[in-house]
Amino acid sequence: MKRAVLRRAAAVSAMAAAFVLAVAGPAAAHVTVNPSTATQGGYTKVTFRVPNESDEASTTKLEVNLPADAPVASVSLKPVPGWTAVAEKSKLATPIKAHDSEITEAVMKITWTAAQGSEIKPGTFQEFDVSLGPLPEAEQMVFKALQTYSDGTVVRWIDEPTTDGTEPESPAPVLKLTAAGAASAAPSQAADAVADGSGESEGGNGTAWGIAGLVAGLAGLVLGLLAYRKAAQSS
C-alpha cells in the first residue's frame, strides 16, 4: 500500500514538473532582439540573443536579415570572440538620406560564423551586438534570422507578427519604433498602466504561463509530500 501511494505521488510530481517545462520553455527559446523598442530617426545598439535549443548539436552560424523596406545608413558590429562577422550590402531600390548625403546601398544581411570550439553549446546562449541608425520612420523593423546547428539543421526564425497579437510558431526578432515625441511620453504612460493594472509587457503571456506552471509544480510537490506523510503514518 505504501509503495502504491509513493508511486502515485511521484507520478503527480513528475506531471507537474513536465507541465512547468512545457509552459515556461517556449517563452524564451527563440532568437530575440533587445531592447524591443527604439526611437525613429535615432541611433541604437541592439543585441540579438541566441539560445541553443538542441540537446546534442551546437549553434555554428547566425544569419540576420535587415528589412529591405526599412533600411538604415549605418550598421556597425561589435566583435564577438571566436566568431567571424560579415555584413553584406545591397543596392537600395529607393535611396535614403543620412547626414545630408544620399545613400544608395545599405547592409541587408549580417552573418556570424563560429570558429571551432566557440559554438553555442546545448544549454547556453550567445549575444551579438549591432549599432544601427538613423532608424527609419516605420512602425517596426523585422529581422528574419536563420540559426544553423552543427548537425546541419537550420531553424528559420522568420514569422512576422500576427494581427491578433498571438505569437507565431517561429517568430522573427522585432524592433518596434516610436516617434520621438511619443518616446518622451512613454514612461508616464507605462506608469499609469501599471497603476491601473491595464499594462502588460510583450512577454506578459509567457510570464503568466510560467507562473501558472510554477504553481502547478508546487502543488504537485505538496501533494507528493502529503501522500508520503500519509503512507508513513499508515505504516
The reply to whether 109 falls in a domain is yes
Output the domain CATH number for residue 149. 2.60.40.2230
The pLDDT, as a whole number, for residue 165 is 80
Residue 99: pLDDT band by 50, 70, 90 thresholds?
Answer: confident
Adjacency order of strands within the sheet including 59-65: 83-98, 101-114, 59-65, 144-149, 154-157
125-140: average pLDDT: 96
Return the higher-pLDDT residue of 222 and 53.
53
The reply to whether 232 falls in a domain is no
The reply to whether 4 falls in a domain is no
The reply to whether 7 falls in a domain is no
82-91: average pLDDT: 97
The reply to whether 125 falls in a domain is yes
- CA–CA gap between residue 84 and residue 77 (Å, rounded): 11
Q: How many structural domains compose the chain? A: 1
Lowest average pLDDT, out of 10-24, 113-127, 172-186, goes to 10-24
Q: What angle do CA 120, 87, 153 make, to 5 degrees?
A: 35
The reply to whether 133 falls in a domain is yes
Lowest average pLDDT, out of 58-72, 192-206, 211-225, goes to 192-206
- CA–CA gap between residue 107 and residue 109 (Å, rounded): 6
pLDDT of 135 over the 50 cut? yes
The reply to whether 197 falls in a domain is no
pLDDT in tens, 202-230: 444 444 444 455 545 555 554 555 555 55
pLDDT of 231 over the 70 cut? no
Lowest average pLDDT, out of 83-87, 169-173, 218-222, goes to 218-222
The answer to whether residues 5 and 231 touch, using CB atoms and an 8 Å cutoff, is yes
pTM, entire model? 0.68
The reply to whether 219 falls in a domain is no
pLDDT of 187 over the 90 cut? no
Return the higher-pLDDT residue of 221 and 115.
115
Residue 80: domain span: 30-179
pLDDT in tens, 142-156: 999 999 999 999 999
- CA–CA gap between residue 49 and residue 158 (Å, rounded): 15
The pLDDT, as a whole number, for residue 199 is 39
Across the chain, what does the average pLDDT equal? 78
41-67: average pLDDT: 97
The pLDDT, as a whole number, for residue 216 is 53
